[in-house]
Amino acid sequence: MRATYLWQAGAAVTRCCRQQHIKTFTMSCTNASASYRSSATFVDYVAPSWANRLKCIPKQRVQLAMYNTPIHAWNIPGVPSDFQLSVKRDDLSGSTLSGNKVRKLEFLMADAANQQCTSVITAGGIQSNFARSTAVAARQVGMDCHLFLRSEISEPESIGCEGNLLLDRMVGAHIYLIPKKAQYERDIKVKMEKLAAKIEEDGGKAYCVPVGGSNVVGLFGYLEGFNELIQQNVLEDFDDLVFTTGSGGTAAGLAIGNYLTGSKLKCHAIAVCDDANYFHAHINKTLQEVGLGSETKSEDILDILEGAKGKVTECQRMKN
């Protein structure tokens, strides 16, 4: 028996054999704090044949990573001799500052560019990996970035420049501190929308990215991730696919890809926050959005395992 674990420390998106049309997109952005010009390579997106009946298929993606990421044997103590464990090295995507988050961001940034946006807005904890990844990706495609970060400190000058905050500042992200107890739907999303309206009043256009980038656009990052697993013979060589889930996007993409291909793999998501009910609800909503809600449900295509989380995480606080 074999199992593969999709490591959440990095990522990539598949370089497919399907025909793609490539063009260079150039954007100039000018605002009160920065003036810059950046070029990025955008690819006309063609979904895998097994996914072409889905609704909401993106038109393009922007190339931010190198792929395919390798799968290595993972030799750890205590594994039975008749059981093989491997790890997909998504930390080797070539996207040093974005890791696995780049899968979703390739589609989210392309969507923002296609809408002629000049700024990207998202939210997270004070040391959010996704917020940092979004700030880096936005700068790579020539957009400004605004981050709403949860903190016990209310003065931006007092939060320092450690960890992801240093990287946020290095790419010129605008940082707005919000209380740790702020809830996403009730508090943070409203602030993001108000900022977007202000940016539009000033002559720009903002693109709001939900926590973790887990929406129907970001979903295609992990549908492509599953297509990459197909190319690496994972469907033939392994029995189980195990991964963590914090915002639901990775779980949705891999489980839906597994369902659409009729794969024999069993998908298992380890919840690092919230519970199975939360993630099943998120994925069922996604299934409705892509046109699969009438034929399957999350509970039938994904096993969500609880009991692995420790203390309350920033991810959980953001949603509650």
Instruction: Give catalytic residues, as residue numbers.
Output: 128
Residue type, 56: C
- Between helix 249-261 and helix 276-289 the angle, nearest 10°, is 60
- Between helix 102-114 and helix 129-140 the angle, nearest 10°, is 50
Question: Which ranges of the chain would DSSP assign to H, the alpha helix?
Answer: 102-114, 129-140, 164-170, 189-201, 219-231, 234-237, 249-261, 276-289, 298-301, 314-319
141 touches 169 (CB < 8 A)? no
Q: Which residues contact 146 (CB under 8 A, 6 or more apart)?
A: 119, 120, 121, 122, 173, 174, 176, 195, 199, 206
Strand, coil or helix: what is 38? strand
Count of CB atoms within 10 A of residue 181's CB? Answer: 10
Cα distances from 104 to residues 66, 94, 223, in angstroms, run: 14, 15, 10
> What span, in angstroms and rounded, lies between the C-alpha atoms of 23 and 71?
31
> What span, in angstroms and rounded, lies between the C-alpha atoms of 56 and 116?
19
Specify burial of residue 218 (Cβ count, 10 A radius: 0-12, 13-18, 19+).
buried
Token pair, residue 256, equals 């839906």
The conformation of residue 115, written as its DSSP 8-state character, comes to T
Cα distances from 35 to residues 88, 130, 142, 223, 291, in angstroms, run: 39, 24, 10, 35, 41
213 touches 108 (CB < 8 A)? yes
- First-to-last alpha carbon distance for the chain, in angstroms, is 39
